[in-house]
């Protein structure tokens, strides 16, 4: 097939979950079809060089990602019937690039990659006619969870209004496109709850590049924890606020020498809101995070927000690093608690689980071996085949399908 892709992220460098997913799925599509890409890029990224793209993928254009209007509410966003990411971050030049590409060439399918909250590419499909349209990686559960969990009256009003807009927009979108993929069963259930008569919705989970994570990265350092995630992402920041405030002090009382490494960028993050103190090290951006994760005794995933499946957990498992996660952190993964990883939601229980792994060499070894086996089920090559099969299905059967 001839496939035109739109993306809210550039595929290089593959240093965050969104770009990792995009790069591997583009590689899978490019191996089976002729693929062209129009994408957004962030200020800190260089423009996407054609040689940095996966084989079989060519670049039609790269546009600066819209910045919106910051985190404050605006009147335009408040009174719009669309979610803020749609109402305030629509880029006419992206629509023009898409229209120009469709006028010059006959495509079999247009695929819009949705990579978490923020910039969105799905709205650009609404004006496309005469070609199959698919949204990849749609997530809405995080917005719904915020609306349900908000404590202050103002936040509750804000998130409930956002969720109401998101539901309306999601129903409208799914009535017009030909198919949709989501990263987890939870997201599929959320989509079908909002739009039960929608086009086919398939689960295409996150994965891991098993070959990339093989090798010897050095000995494990005793009493070391790692959280591999940029604090610029809200779910990661909230995870660290929860962990540093309520869990890490308990771990340090039992293991005073315990050290937590937090990897990833902190640009623009108000670190004063975190309980940073003894035993906490911010590594900043690491071009290669593998040695830091592999040499840590425990990888933690104390997430309380977010959707999809956690690439950070799969990567740690592939490296043989034991994982302790919350239920939300392990959400979307087909894992057996107590065998593949440890799960705890209460601060006391979470701290206790981490201390057990730090102190018990046999438990560390068992979790390491089981985690490696489980990670093999999430090989990107297998997941790419699932996406290609879904795109083929949508192309051949189109809007006559029922999800």
Residue 128, sorted as left (phi over 0), alpha (psi -120 to 50) or beta, turns out to be beta
Q: What is the pLDDT of residue 14?
A: 81
| Residue 82 token pair | 């669309």
> What angle in degrees, to the nearest 10, is found between the helix axes of 185-194 and 141-149?
80
Q: What is the pLDDT of residue 234?
A: 86
Q: What is the pLDDT of residue 312?
A: 93
Kindly give the parts of the chain with pLDDT less than 50: 69-76, 79, 399-403
pTM for the full model? Answer: 0.88
Q: What is the pLDDT of residue 44?
A: 63
CA nearest to 280, candidates 328, 226, 217, 331: 226
Q: What is the pLDDT of residue 140?
A: 86
Q: What is the pLDDT of residue 119?
A: 73
Q: What is the pLDDT of residue 308?
A: 57
Q: What is the pLDDT of residue 402?
A: 37
Helices (H), 12-137: 17-32, 75-79, 84-87, 92-104
Report the relative pairing of strands 342-343 and 323-325 from DSSP bridges. Answer: parallel
CA nearest to 170, candidates 206, 120, 127: 120
Q: What is the pLDDT of residue 47?
A: 57
| Domains delineated in the chain | 2-207+380-400 (3.40.50.2000), 221-378 (3.40.50.2000)
Q: What is the pLDDT of residue 23?
A: 93
Q: What is the pLDDT of residue 46?
A: 59
pLDDT tens for each residue of 241-255: 999 999 999 999 999
């Amino acid at each position: 097939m001839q496939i035109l892709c739109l993306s809210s992220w550039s595929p290089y460098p593959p240093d965050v979950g969104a770009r990792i997913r995009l790069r591997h799925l583009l590689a899978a599509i490019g191996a089976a079809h002729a693929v062209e890409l129009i994408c957004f890029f962030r200020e800190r990224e260089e423009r996407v060089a054609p040689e940095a793209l996966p084989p079989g993928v060519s670049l039609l254009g790269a546009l600066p990602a819209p910045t919106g209007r910051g985190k404050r509410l605006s009147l335009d966003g408040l009174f719009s019937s669309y979610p803020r990411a749609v109402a305030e971050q629509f880029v006419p030049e992206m629509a023009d690039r898409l229209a120009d590409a469709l006028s010059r060439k006959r495509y079999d399918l247009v695929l819009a990659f949705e990579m978490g909250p923020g910039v969105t590419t799905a709205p650009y499909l609404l004006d496309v006619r005469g070609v199959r349209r698919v949204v990849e990686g749609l997530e809405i559960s995080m917005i719904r969870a915020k609306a349900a969990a908000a404590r202050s009256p103002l936040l509750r009003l804000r998130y409930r209004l956002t969720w109401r807009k998101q539901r309306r927009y999601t129903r409208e979108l799914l009535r017009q496109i030909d198919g949709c993929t989501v990263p987890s069963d939870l997201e599929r259930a959320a989509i079908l709850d909002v739009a039960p008569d929608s086009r086919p919705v398939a689960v295409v989970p996150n994965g891991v590049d098993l070959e990339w994570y093989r090798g010897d990265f050095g000995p494990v350092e005793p009493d070391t924890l790692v959280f591999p995630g940029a604090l610029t992402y809200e779910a990661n920041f909230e995870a660290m606020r929860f962990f540093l405030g309520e869990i890490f002090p308990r771990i340090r009382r039992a293991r005073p020498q315990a050290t937590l490494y937090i990897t990833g960028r902190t640009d623009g993050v108000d670190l004063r809101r975190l309980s940073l103190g003894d035993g906490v090290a911010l590594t900043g951006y690491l071009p290669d995070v593998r040695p830091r994760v592999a040499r840590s005794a425990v990888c933690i995933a104390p997430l309380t927000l977010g959707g999809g499946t956690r690439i950070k957990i799969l990567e740690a498992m592939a490296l043989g690093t034991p994982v302790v996660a919350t239920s939300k952190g392990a959400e979307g993964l087909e894992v057996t608690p107590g065998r593949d990883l440890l799960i705890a939601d209460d601060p006391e229980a979470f701290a206790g689980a981490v201390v057990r792994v730090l102190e018990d060499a046999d438990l560390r070894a068992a979790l390491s071996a089981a985690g490696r086996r489980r990670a093999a089920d999430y090989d990107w090559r297998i997941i790419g085949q699932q996406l290609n099969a879904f795109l083929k299905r949508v192309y051949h059967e189109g809007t006559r399908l029922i999800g």
